[in-house]
Chains A and B, each alone.
Chain A
Amino acid sequence: MEADINLSESMEDYLEAIYNLIKENGSARVTDIANHLKIAASSVNQGLKKLNQEGLISQEKYGPIKLTESGLKAAEKVRCKHRMLYLFLHKTLGVSQESADHDACRIEHALSEESFSKMVDYLIKNNYIEEQNCAFKMKAEKEEPKMAAEQLMLDKIKVGSKAEVVKIESKGRLKRKLMDMGLNKGAKVEVKGRAPMGDPIEIKVRGYSLSLRQDEAAEILVKEV
């Protein structure tokens, strides 16, 4: 579905900047984005407004900017294109690392779906990329929408059911905290119960009980087992 959204070049830059900032600092603010992209805060605000209309980001009043699920997908896609282009330029054509990175940055916005997909096929065929690479994930999602459907967020798991962690989608400190508590890829969890008012929830992971708020559980992708 992310392919339906036609993003302009600067919108993609914003998304990438937000993604990187959240990853590095755990949050993205207007001033950070402005510094990151070296542009005025007022134009960032305009851009954010547009992203908000597209449903790619959400921002509470005065709060930090968050990527929505489709925003995250779009940002990951831009990043993936960047990686693929870099690999293509550097590994197959022998362009220097620096130029490859710089050029990838410019080309990524203009690359069509078709060229992207063909380029990925070429890279895969010639063993330039390993499995689990982002390109594989994107292909898999496109070809097997059923597979993706079985995966859901931890807050949707019924009490008494078991699941396996696929991915932590939180960013920054919360992500580290969750992983430090043992919620990493492959960890088996069981939802033990909910607090009287439905939130937070109690789960069993690695042999002990852990509590999480609903919105924290909503950032943990799991598959039912």
Chain B
Amino acid sequence: MALNKTKRKNNELKVALAGNPNSGKTTMFNELTGSRQHVGNWPGVTVEKKTGRDSYQNYSLEVIDLPGTYSLGAYSEDEVVARDFLTTGDYDVVLNIINSSNLDRNLYFTVQLLEMGVDLIAVLNMADEAEKKGIKIDKEKIGQLLGTPVVETVASKGRGIDSLLAETVQHRDLSEAALKIDYGSEVEDLISEVVSMLKEFDFTSQINQRWAAVKLIEHDPEAVKLLEREVGVSKAKKIKSLIAERELKAEDDFDNIIIDKKYEFINKVISESVQRPAADQEPENVSDKIDAIVTNKYLGIPIFMAVMWGIFKFTFTLGDPLIGYIEAFFEAAGGWLGGLLVGAGISPLITSFITDGIIGGVGSVLVFIPNIFLLFLAIGILEDSGYMSRAAYVMDKVMSKLGLHGKSFIPMIVGFGCNVPGVMATRTLDSKRDRIISILINPLMSCSARLPVYVVFAGALFPNHASTVVFSLYALGIVMAVIMAGIFNKILFKGERSHFVMELPPYRFPTLKGVFIHMWEKVGAFIKKAGTIIFAVVVLIWVLANLPLGVEYASAQSLIGQFGQLMAPIFEPLGFGNWQAASSLVFGILAKEVVVGTLGVVYAAGEGGLRAALTANFSPLAAYSFLTMVLLYTPCIATLGAIKSETQSWKWPIITASYLFVLAWLVSFVIYQGGMLLGIGV
């Protein structure tokens, strides 16, 4: 009954995969499409749109993996996407992936689709798990009761895929009536009255009218909006007031009655077609046993800490050598190409553009890749194994005290490595409010790129307390994050209530294929999206460092140097009002570790000489104030690019960049002026 069905050739089919989360939908998608996948975004939102191709006999199938959803009453962005596609999208058939060992809740969604009149195949997936649990399903009977074809599969082992494809390409008679559940005389009378009103008002005939009536009666806001659009506000009001008037006299709220009747229907279907073992003969539940340890009162938090530490270690210990190789490769490539170009008589300016600008710029993007790769590998394993939702469960109390959600801890931990994947990891959050706040405070997690700056300064000016200084900076970042989360919580999203009604899926062994596909998608998205923005800015900065024509790269006379001179007075009250420090901060927006490199260039000193230059130019207090600035100020371009692509708006990167600059200035000001007053480190 898809609304916008476009005409396709006879042997082309558009197939949508829909179902509850944790029903094996993505595994099924990978099984069907293999490597012929394309990942993009749904228009206007950051929800991933995954499509892929498959062929069967002489049919060509386009497969669309819809985000997992529990019902058509949409809550998160993901669910809205799935719902909009299913109610108005362009497709031929829906493969409804059902977790066979959890039929009650999975069929709730199936029933909603069937009521809509969707051409649907019920796919009883994870049939092996159900078997293990001793659940016997009579699939002919279920199919008969639901009025839809049923296929049994085990997507993770490739079982039943052929019969599923054979069923998919069958031409079914679409004129067959949609599933009708008896909602009791009270509601049924109202349904027929609303349906006749809809007919009278010429409500679109492309939507099943009974389904629309039921949706209106249960006060579905989207259905009301659609009605108002289609027939106008005044006619819609007539229907709405009829429903409201009846509800006043009804024995219960209509939405309660409708949901209760749906479950009643499902219970009937299950009792007639499914045999379950008696409660005492149920095989022991491994997930419950693991949970007893992982969420244990005393062990829960230490285990969580250990896992986070493990991810962090895994990502950065394995990743850093690879980063070294990539850096070395780009340096060598730049040097080699530069030599070649100069040798060929190319002008130094163009040579510098290619080596410093393009190769340097691309290199500054690509160095993040090993970390992102490993990080998302680790996150993929955690997600697929089922631990991720337990970690959120264990941490929710602490996080909600900070005005955040249990799941917000992942982006924060990740941010200590690099803010780019940190921002990307906020995707696991459902509510927009939780997500935006987590993004805004992520740059306050001191990323690994800032560490070289701390190390150089601490070594030069606090040789005896270097580690204390570095640790204090990390702590300062966390304190600021907590404070800012509290402030954003108050000013940005007043009183919006987030909830923690979340499934804790059974533990599973992650499959290599699933984890790798997951990881590849994330890394590909990073290279594509962030890459374009970062690349453009890198080139811009190179241009500014070389203009006006003929100046020395990044010298006081270049536009960047002039900009540094212009900015220097702003930093005067913070104790480092010289153009060198100001320029290094400007370059630091490119990538935080560049601060050190720039200081080296502008003080015209090598690594060893830099220490002397720093000791000569900074008092310990000014140095600490400068480090505070480096910790807190405007994040690097890569992070801002990630924020832009994750929020789909320029608003949030601009807010992040500006609030952090102001915050950094204020905190540094307090530290420097406070220190001056007390006479510390002058």
Residues of chain A touching chain B, judged by Cβ–Cβ distance below 8 Å, are 23-24, 27, 60, 62-64, 79, 82-83, 86-87, 97, 101, 130-134, 173-182, 184-187, 192-200, 202, 206-213, 216
Residues from chain B with a CB closer than 8 A to the CB of A179 are 255-256, 259
Q: A101-B245, A184-B256 are in contact. Are A193 and B503 (CB under 8 A)?
A: no
How many Å lie between the Cα of A187 and that of B291 in the bound state?
23
Residues 461-502 of B at the A interface (beta carbon under 8 Å): 490, 494-495, 497, 499-502
| B229 interface residue per 8 A CB criterion | no
- Pairwise interchain contact A209-B503, C-beta atoms closer than 8 A: yes
- Pairwise interchain contact B108-A182, C-beta atoms closer than 8 A: yes
- Pairwise interchain contact B297-A196, C-beta atoms closer than 8 A: yes
How many Å lie between the Cα of A207 and that of B285 in the bound state?
11
Q: Which residue of A lies closest to B71 (CB)?
A: A180
Q: A181-B70, A208-B105 are in contact. Are A195 and B497 (CB under 8 A)?
A: no
Q: Which residue of A lies closest to B99 (CB)?
A: A208
Q: A184-B260, A207-B101 are in contact. Are A200 and B500 (CB under 8 A)?
A: yes
Residues from chain B with a CB closer than 8 A to the CB of A131 are 251
Q: How big is chain B's contact interface, by range?
A: 35 or more
Residues from chain B with a CB closer than 8 A to the CB of A208 are 102, 105, 503-506
Q: Which 6 A-B pairs have the closest CB atoms?
A: A196-B300, A63-B495, A197-B397, A206-B104, A180-B71, A209-B504
Residues of chain B touching chain A, judged by Cβ–Cβ distance below 8 Å, are 70-71, 73, 75, 101-102, 104-105, 108, 219, 245, 248-249, 251-253, 255-256, 259-260, 263, 287-288, 291-292, 295-298, 300-301, 389, 393-394, 396-398, 400, 406, 490, 494-495, 497, 499-506
- Pairwise interchain contact B494-A196, C-beta atoms closer than 8 A: no
Q: A63-B494, A193-B295, A195-B295 are in contact. Are A210 and B501 (CB under 8 A)?
A: yes
- Pairwise interchain contact B105-A182, C-beta atoms closer than 8 A: yes
How many Å lie between the Cα of A193 and that of B495 in the bound state?
29
Q: A195-B397, A198-B397, A200-B397 are in contact. Are A216 and B105 (CB under 8 A)?
A: no
- Pairwise interchain contact B295-A60, C-beta atoms closer than 8 A: no
- Pairwise interchain contact A174-B501, C-beta atoms closer than 8 A: yes
Q: How far is the CB of A17 from the nearest CB of chain B, in Å?
A: 14
- Pairwise interchain contact B504-A132, C-beta atoms closer than 8 A: no
- Pairwise interchain contact A62-B70, C-beta atoms closer than 8 A: no
How many Å lie between the Cα of A133 and that of B396 in the bound state?
39
Residues from chain A with a CB closer than 8 A to the CB of B295 are 193, 195-196, 202
- Additional 14 contacts, C-beta under 8 A, given A197-B397, A200-B396: A62-B494, A62-B495, A64-B495, A83-B248, A83-B249, A173-B75, A174-B501, A177-B75, A184-B259, A193-B291, A195-B397, A200-B406, A210-B504, A213-B396
- Pairwise interchain contact A216-B503, C-beta atoms closer than 8 A: no
How many Å lie between the Cα of A176 and that of B74 in the bound state?
10
Q: How far is the CB of B155 from the nearest CB of chain A, in Å?
A: 19
How many Å lie between the Cα of A60 and that of B496 in the bound state?
12
How many Å lie between the Cα of A64 and that of B256 in the bound state?
24
For B253, B394, B400, B497, the residue with the greatest tally of chain A CB atoms inside 10 Å of its CB is B497
For A133, A174, A192, A193, the residue with the greatest tally of chain B CB atoms inside 10 Å of its CB is A193
Residues from chain B with a CB closer than 8 A to the CB of A199 are 396-397
Residues from chain B with a CB closer than 8 A to the CB of A202 are 291, 295, 393, 504
